[in-house]
Amino acid sequence: MKVIALCDVNNCFASSEQVFDPLIMGKPVVVLSNNDGCAIARSAEAKRMGVKMGQPFFQFQHLVKQGLIVRSANFPLYANLSERIVSVLETLAFDVVPYSIDESFLDLTGISSDLTAYGQYIRNIVYRHTRMPVGVGVAETKTLAKAANWATKHFPAFKGVVSIYQQPERRAKMLSMMPVGEVWGVGKQMTRHFESMKIKNAYQLSQMDPEKVRKQFNVVIARTVAELQGIESVEWESDIDTNRQIISSKSIGTKTDDKHILFSAITRHVSNACKKLRKQNAVAQYFSLFYRTSRFNTAESEYSVSESLPLSTATDDTREFLKLAHKIFDETYRKGFRYAKAGCVLSSITPKSQQQSDLFCNDEKTKQSEKTMNVLDALNAKFGKSTIRFGGEDLNCASEAKSQWRSQNYMSDWADIPKLSV
């Protein structure tokens, strides 16, 4: 039987901010969303101060005077640290499947030592190499491993590691303390269904018949029930699936009626989306552009655009999607409005290995396109984001979202590497 562990970073974004700023270790830290709008991460100390997840900043801004430390979201930093954690985990497990920026599943099958002790070893090694605190849950299935990891956050006595592998009594006790809404795969709507059936915790859910659940609800919930019973029903999936859709969107820092500033924001979103597309080694054939005024300012006129165009051949070349963006923008832009948000969507995405060429496709042009994009990405990876960029992306214009308290890109920008004075 497979031994599965879930390694989850504690308060990932807040912990990332503390790695390169030891002075805020152990202090209340909150990370704000794009445009410094609301709380998207909180340290344990910030939670105790009463900051809620998703709470608008203006509602807890007064806590800054009481010692609350505020940081603007710095996603490149968080991604860099996440990649480093995965590289460490790959030396400690037979296989690692990243699930999100702060979670990874580990295959520990065949580990001969005590699993709880090995979980502590994983925590110590990750912290030694990254200074990031993690919790480890170990069980027979992914869903049970997620449940065990949930327990590491709610019961400090376990010291960050919970193993319920082949321990049915301990598993039953833990599941009986876990609300049904906390089970992986059970959303808000299903939670309401189960609670109306007097199923309030994970143990009660685990006692249901998977086949009856499949007929009454769906196959996904049936698999969840089977997994809670220790029956592996969710595929291991060593290869990460290609995203079906890539979205890049953000509020503009200050609402603008300047055509140049608005298209600069659009250019940046197209560039970001295409970078993500190339990172997963895929191509897209459908492009959508949207931009709009604020929905909340009733004193100003509203105007919104959402248009889509296809490409004759799927590609990952930023230039091809910028051509479509220009076409849509030139046909839809209207003067006299103050725009507040813009973004784009890439869809009809397929892995590059499965790409079908157009009958009239120029292979030499395709190869040249691939070389150009590879050089672009390589230079930006080496010398920092936007070192090489498209002319429409003006970094000095006011389209940048507010990020008043953003930390430096310590791991991805040469100019931000910490300096030691002796």
* 320-336 confidence digits (pLDDT tens): 999 999 999 999 999 99
Cα–Cα distance measured from residue 141 to residue 145, given in angstroms and rounded to the nearest whole number: 6
Looking at the fold, whether 372 and 272 belong to one and the same domain comes out as: yes
In a domain, 351, yes or no: yes
pLDDT at 360: 53
Cα–Cα distance measured from residue 16 to residue 9, given in angstroms and rounded to the nearest whole number: 10
Give the distance, in angstroms, between the CA of residue 16 and the centroid of all CA atoms in the same chain.
14
Contact (CB, 8 A) for 30 and 51: yes
Looking at the fold, whether 218 and 254 belong to one and the same domain comes out as: no
- Give all strands of the β-sheet with 304-315 in edge-to-edge order: 246-256, 339-351, 282-293, 304-315
* 164-214 confidence digits (pLDDT tens): 999 999 999 999 999 999 999 898 888 998 999 999 999 999 999 999 988
In a domain, 419, yes or no: no
Looking at the fold, whether 127 and 192 belong to one and the same domain comes out as: yes
Residue range of the domain that includes 161: 4-9+82-100+114-228
The mean per-residue pLDDT over the stretch 361-388 comes to 83
Looking at the fold, whether 190 and 256 belong to one and the same domain comes out as: no
Cα–Cα distance measured from residue 89 to residue 422, given in angstroms and rounded to the nearest whole number: 34
In a domain, 340, yes or no: yes
Contact (CB, 8 A) for 115 and 165: yes
Alpha-carbon torsion 387, 389, 392, 393, what sign?
negative
261 backbone dihedrals φ, ψ, rounded to 5°: -65, -40
20 backbone dihedrals φ, ψ, rounded to 5°: -100, 5
Domain count across the chain: 2
- Specify the CATH number for the domain of residue 96: 1.10.150.20
E strand residue ranges, 257-374: 282-293, 304-315, 339-351
Q: What is the CA radius of gyration of the chain?
A: 24
Looking at the fold, whether 256 and 201 belong to one and the same domain comes out as: no
pLDDT at 295: 75
The mean per-residue pLDDT over the stretch 59-86 comes to 92
Looking at the fold, whether 370 and 265 belong to one and the same domain comes out as: yes
